[in-house]
Amino acid sequence: MRVFILKNPATSTPSVVYVPSVDERIKQVLLLGREHYEKREYDKAEPLLRQVLESDDRFADVHNMLGVISHARGNFMAAEHHFERALAINPGYTEAALNLAVTYNDRGKYEAAREVYTRIRGKPGSDGKQGLDPFARGKLANMHAEVAQAYADLGLPREAVLELEKAVTLCPQFADLRTRLGNLLRELKELGRAREHYEAALSTRANYVPARIALGVTLLSLGELDGAEYHWKKVLETEADNPQVKMYLRMLETERRKSMPPSA
């Protein structure tokens, strides 16, 4: 086993990380398993990651990945086991701690979840909310977004909206999360709320093309043709050859011509 001394850039506090020694074959299996995991190819990743643990059970990140896979499949008991094991190996593993807290909540273990949050949170902010550090907030927000996607894939958009609202509350500056929430609300015909989230996304990232395109579509549905045209033309300032926006603008021009009274 090799020992590394790492320094947390946020606190400058050194920590000791123990890395198991592995043979080259297991290294290649682990590398391939991680690649499939990052691509969300869980069916391919899982057997490879389990093969690694059969060789050596001391890989905290492997347990964390298997926990995420189990959670995505609704097997919360197995997910809990893997996240707890990851933290037993590396008590400072923030990502695994956040994953475990969410899993505890899903299993109704609310007190246990609060205890985990207490370990990873900072001091309460002036607004009385938990002062999670930016990394923890971002990670937890993305986890809610993944759960939202799972709900959406199952045809449960309102449940997906609830998860994305949690994500946006944690990280209101994440334009992509705002846009995904807006898209779901638009599908549910809640155009006013969708518009608010698209506009909030653009207030954070003015050149975020997906939000501007979606805002244009929403304004078109609201009958605000000039507003839709404005935002689509703004997209062309950033992406002059955007085929989707060019198509929308041609469609808009055609509809306007149809609505013009015939010449005398």
Q: What is the pLDDT of residue 10?
A: 43
Residue at 145 is within a domain: no
Please count the structural domains in the chain. Answer: 1
pTM of the model: 0.55
Residue at 59 is within a domain: no
Residue at 191 is within a domain: yes
Q: Over its length of 264 residues, how does the chain's per-residue pLDDT go in tens digits?
A: 443 334 444 444 444 444 444 578 888 999 999 999 988 899 999 999 999 999 888 899 999 999 999 999 999 999 999 999 999 988 877 788 888 988 898 888 888 888 887 776 544 443 344 456 677 788 888 888 988 988 888 889 999 999 999 999 989 999 999 999 999 999 999 999 999 999 999 999 999 999 999 999 999 889 899 999 999 999 999 899 999 999 999 888 887 776 666 654
Residue at 44 is within a domain: no
Q: What is the pLDDT of residue 223?
A: 87
Q: What is the extent of the structural domain holding 192?
A: 178-259
User: What does the chain look like in DSSP terms, one character per residue?
Assistant: -EEEEEE-TTT--EEEEEE----HHHHHHHHHHHHHHHTT-HHHHHHHHHHHHHH-S--HHHHHHHHHHHHHTT-HHHHHHHHHHHHHH-TT-HHHHHHHHHHHHHTT-HHHHHHHHHHH--S--TTSS----HHHHHHHHHHHHHHHHHHHHTT-HHHHHHHHHHHHHH-TT-HHHHHHHHHHHHHTT-HHHHHHHHHHHHHH-TT-HHHHHHHHHHHHHTT-HHHHHHHHHHHHHH-TT-HHHHHHHHHHHHHHHHHSPPP-
Give the CATH number, domain containing residue 226: 1.25.40.10
Residue at 218 is within a domain: yes
Residue at 121 is within a domain: no
